[in-house]
Structure 1
Amino acid sequence: MTTRRTFIQQAAVIATAGSAIVSREVPAATNRKPDGTPSEQHQAMSILSNTVTFPQNYGLGGVGPGNGWHTNTNEQIDQTLQAAWEAGVRYYDTSPFYGYGLSERRFGHFLFEKDRAEYLLSTKIGRIFEADPTFEPGSAGLWKGPLNFKFRYDYTADGVRRSLEDSLQRLGLSSIDIVFVHDLSPDNGDLGDRWTEQFDVAAKGAFPTLTKMREEGIIKGWGLGVNRPQPILKTLEVADPDVMLVAIQYTLFEHEDALKNLFPAMAAKKVKAIIGGPLNGGFAAGLDRWNYGPGLPKDMVEKRNRIKAVADQYNVSLSTVALQFAVQHPVVAAVIPGASRPEQVKENVQSFHTDVPAALWKTLKDEQLIHPDSPVGT
């Protein structure tokens, strides 16, 4: 196993070395049953590259451990992570941005004594954090509780190295499996129209550096973690990522653009998708919240009511329908709903093991509540 010191030393060499982006063939996606096990026709794991496999087609997102939307005690998050582990979850996604380091610290505390070979871990780069106990992000922000840090954006090669060094320190672990370039997207209010300028920086800095890290075996794969398709499509043109964290773009409520445009482009390059925000910020679980901000779109509330009425006919929960919808696309390697309580984890895992009747999907298509080409119920 790569030690933390070796990881940092190798990353430093790579960050200062020029590297060409090398294309390579990636095995095609595998299909799985709703319980996460391979189908009879496809017995292999869901392979992203020669070195990355997903232990199952679901995982745990890290917004909750970062005090997203509300504060959570260390004990509560530890119990939540323990519930996930006991339920068999072995893929965990976090980020320095989630709680300004808090999510990584909490994941690291829990995973510290686990066998490193038993789980897959992803985090993100793009922001460098500096201690500042006077920093106040404002009450309208996503992250609650004391933050104690401020940040600056850095998508350069050196920024990758610094960010990963800091993440390893917060995690207290020796390695990171997958690295996502975070929030390099037009919906990032800090960047605005300048996101394309930062994209050019990443194309010359972060992207080739992460590719080289993968080739050297320091990481197993990389991609983008964004809420919009434009940066993903641009990255497919200029780099060779392995997997994209496609957040709030392929959900039960909004999926047509990803279905018709984004996923075909990713499939053509043999790049897989991890679905973040599959419940649209808890909206599919019945919360009065849509994605990451305030306000509920009236058309989505109406759509939720209609889909729930169909789900009720078949005695299936709305959140189960949402998670099963997201996981069935062949481009999708894993779906990572978040959780901040043990019962949420247990419910989500149970949803992935629930057999949704084909008639339910047919009804949703007949009533034009999901796209007719959605690969569900087959």
Structure 2
Amino acid sequence: MVSRRSFIKAGAALGLTSAVSSTALADKLKVKASSGEVMPTRGLYNSHEMLPVNRPGDSKRYRPLSRMGLGGLAAGNGFNTISPDEEILSMLHAAWDSGIRYFDTSPFYGLSLSERRFGDLLRNKSRDDYVLSSKVGRLLTPSSEPLEKKWHWANHSPFHYKYDYTASGTRRSVEDTLHRIGVSSLDIVYIHDLSPQNSDMGEDWVKYYDEAVKGAMPELSKMRDEGIIKAWGFGINTPEVVYKSLEDSDPDIFLLALQYSLLDHEVALQKTFPMIERRDMSVVVGAPLNGGYLAGRDRFNYDSTIPEKMKQKYAAISNIAYKYGIDMKTAALQFAEAPEVVSAIIPGARTAEQIHENVAAMKVKVPNDFWSELKSEGLIVQAAPVPNA
């Protein structure tokens, strides 16, 4: 693992830092990062630059102030056991100290583990100083028996869950989350995993959607009107519910995971984003690194099977990035944050070092010619918004 202390310093008087390490130069960033390691950030960046924010008043609907957030899947032992808890707490403190002020979690992540770990940081902060979102749709119950289906979670909390998108289940879920995190309120609540991609539901996702139309959706609108929350929407991995919900309800924001990235963005740009933008709603981009693939992991969208097309596209973009003195992760994070309809991106992290690299990536000056070459080579669509445009 490359330590940030090994980075070459340049242009100190201007606050510019070169994020190219000698190791990265030697292997041209082609070594895949193993769990907990990082893809070194390449390129000149201004270490004093603030992370991007949304300007108040740009939208009538609520948007988180911070455009750079933190996803909580890893804090729920997603794919790997993180022990002791101090490693996650160190990561969370690094996020806070780096200027990240939007935190997203879920009861499902580690079956309460992520929420409780986030609470170790956030319950000691002023509630007005950060944005917090969590999710509804599963109610947790204690159990001494392990889950039959393990999902992504390594050594998760001893809970079972049941799907519940009713009004009463939704309000109870929010109250349970507040107790687990140890805070007084949530800013955003997402209705979670109503999607045909959710193999746990199968075709029943339509039944649960209909339950949410009568229960969770009006209840969250009521909670918004009461001032209990500031916004609500859907946290989903496929866009079908976006299209349906715009006819049936009045959400504010969509957490779209695995739907907008440097490698895969056509459907979102051509169909999903325009539908959302016309209604002054916004998008939080989840998994902007395709579940870690664009940061060097040997998995794509939380799956160990990597499509050959994605491998080829990765290699082509990586070679162009190296030519311009930057890295894939930097290009991917800045690409995902660029559209106006996007109100935040929430890459995950397991370690403080990963936080430092992600934050540095947002401050790198990416040459305009890099984006032009990607478009000329057909590696991103011509209409894709890019930074510095």
TM-score under structure 2 length normalisation? 0.85
Q: Report the Cα distance in structure 2 between the residues aligned to 1:235 and 1:146, rounded to whole angstroms.
A: 32
CA deviations over 1:49-70 (Å, ceiling 9, x no partner): 46x3423211000011100010
Query: Over aligned residue pairs, what C-alpha RMSD do you find?
Result: 1.5
2:56 to 33, 39, 45: 45
Q: Distance in 2 between matches of 1:109 and 1:373?
A: 42
Counterpart contact for 1:93–1:121, Cα < 8 Å: yes
Q: Which residue of 2 aligns with 1:309?
A: 319
Matched position secondary structure for 1:166: helix
Q: Confirm or deny that 1:94 pairs with 2:94.
A: no
Determine the structure 2 residue equivalent to 1:325: 335
Overall identity of the aligned pairs, in %: 45
The answer to whether 1:134 aligns with 2:145 is yes
Structure 2 residue 179 is matched with structure 1 residue 169? yes
Of residues 60, 65, 70, the one that matches 1:55 is 65
Aligned to 1:354: 364
Letter in 1 for 2:136: I
1:154 to 164, 167, 171: 164
Provide the rounded CA distance (Å) in 1 between the counterparts of 2:264 and 2:156: 34
Counterpart-to-counterpart distance in 1, 2:222 and 2:51:
32
Superposed counterparts of 1:327-342, under 5 Å: 327-342=337-352
Q: CA deviation at 1:146?
A: 3.8
Q: Unpaired runs of 5+ in structure 1?
A: 1-33
- Further displaced range: 171-180 or 128-137: 128-137
Cα distance in 2 for residues equivalent to 1:146 and 1:203: 31
Q: Distance in 2 between matches of 1:125 and 1:224?
A: 9
3-state SS of paired residue (1:241):
coil
1:363–1:137 Cα change, 3 Å: farther
- State the match for 1:233 in structure 2: 243
Task: State the distance in 2 between where 1:101 and 1:46 align.
Answer: 35
Shifted more, 302-311 versus 128-137: the winner is 128-137
Alignment of 1:6-45 (within 5 A): 36-37=51-52, 44-45=55-56
**Aligned partner of residue 255 in structure 2, secondary structure:** strand
The alpha-carbon deviation at position 190 of structure 1 amounts to: 1.4
Distance 1:106 1:326 in 2: 27
SS at match of 1:163: helix
- What displacement does 1:175 show? 0.6
The answer as to 2:224 corresponding to 1:214 is: yes
- Specify the alignment match of 1:180 in structure 2: 190
Cα distance in 2 for partners of 1:351, 1:245 equals 22
The aligned residue for residue 202 of structure 2 is 192
Classify the secondary structure of the residue corresponding to 2:200: coil
3-state SS of 1:319 partner: helix
1:107 alignment counterpart: 118
Cα distance per residue 1:248-299 (max 9 Å; x no partner): 1010111000000000000111110000000011100111111122211111
List structure 1 segments (4+ residues) > 3 angstroms apart after TM superposition.
34-38, 45-50, 136-139
Q: How many residues align?
A: 339
